[in-house]
Amino acid sequence: MMISRRFLMTASAATTGLMAFPVLGHAADAPATEGPRSIGSPTAKVTVEEFFSLTCTHCAHFSNTTMPQVMDKLITPGKLRIVYHDFPLDGVALEAAMVARSLPPEQYFPFCSALFASQDRWAFAQGVNYTDEIWKMAALAGMARATFDKAIADTALKTWIQTQQVADEKTYNIEATPTFLINGKAMPGDLSYDELVAALGPIG
């Protein structure tokens, strides 16, 4: 699937409430790349935390099939907020997460969505260089090459993501991706919209 810059800009315009949720180990003077990433109103009645890997096919399926309904029916009306936790399952996902976090925070969700929509092309295609493919996507999002090169070489950011992942695994007993923390309960699996709504309970 071809992902256009127009798609990224449209998705970016739909995101709100970023950078308003505390993340384990994030100091006030920490780099912006280490800040929290979320979509939805900070005053939403319910907050869900999602632990995902950009090379996880189940995460991609959720993003491509369930999230459009979640966005339309729950996030846009201000009922739900989702806080994202990078939980890379391999080095490819880790590099992609580092690039995503090196974009402006409001572009994090649309960029990850675009990566999920084209996952077969950049993560699993035979004979391609995944770094080159991620760069193509980052360029569509408006990232300069110098920024991209700095992102994939950022050892401090890599360590931070991995440290967060270990802490999340221990704190929330994360064993698979995607996993959703809903009302204090970890729910693993590619949830359908109906399954998610049932787990959320009444949210107005």
Burial class (CB in 10 A: 0-12, 13-18, 19+), 34: middle
CATH value of 5-200 in 3.60.9.10, 3.40.30.10, 1.10.150.120, 1.20.120.640: 3.40.30.10
The model's pLDDT over 125-151, given as tens digits with 9 standing for 90+, comes to 999 999 999 999 999 999 999 999 999
* Least confident among 13-17, 76-80, 156-160, 197-201: 13-17
d(CA 170, CA 161): 14
Residues 6+ apart with CB under 8 A from 51: 85, 87, 168, 172, 174, 177, 178, 179, 180, 181
Structure tokens at 40: 């939805």
- Name the average pLDDT for the chain: 88
pLDDT above 60: residue 204: no
- Domain residue extents for the chain: 5-200
pLDDT above 60: residue 163: yes
Model confidence band, residue 29 (pLDDT cutoffs 50, 70, 90): low
pLDDT above 80: residue 15: no
Q: What angle do CA 199, 176, 37 make, to 5 degrees?
A: 70
User: 3-class SS at 48?
Assistant: strand
The model's pLDDT over 96-110, given as tens digits with 9 standing for 90+, comes to 999 999 999 999 999
pLDDT above 70: residue 187: yes
